[in-house]
Amino acid sequence: MVVTTPEADEVLGKHLSDLEKLKQLYFFSMALSVKMNREMMGKATSEYTSTSVQKLYEDCAIHSRVPVEGWPGFVSRHFARRPH
């Protein structure tokens, strides 16, 4: 049986919050890198340059619940697809 204390719960909560922030920073860094790379290669369209990385993060991590390991593929597929 595991006994927790309010202090332990608080520390755990802070660590989990820090982990979520780091994951979000990782996603934003990766997505901006892919976006900028496509723009520098001349493969960007107005649809891509106006893509909100925040919205892309919400679509990927929150709504679609893609695991962290799948984020690079999700972002790459998003920017590689043809605009409608």
Q: pLDDT (tens digit, 9 = 90+) per residue, 5-64?
A: 988 889 889 999 999 999 999 999 999 998 888 888 887 666 667 789 999 999 999 999
Rounded Cα distance between 37 and 79, Å, is: 10
* pLDDT for 83 beyond 70: no
Delimit the domains of the chain by residue range: 6-80
- What's residue 45's pLDDT? 67
Name the CA radius of gyration of the chain, rounded: 17
Rounded Cα distance between 49 and 38, Å, is: 9
Rounded Cα distance between 59 and 49, Å, is: 17
pLDDT band at 82 (very low <50, low <70, confident <90, very high): low
The better pLDDT of the pair 43, 66 is held by 66
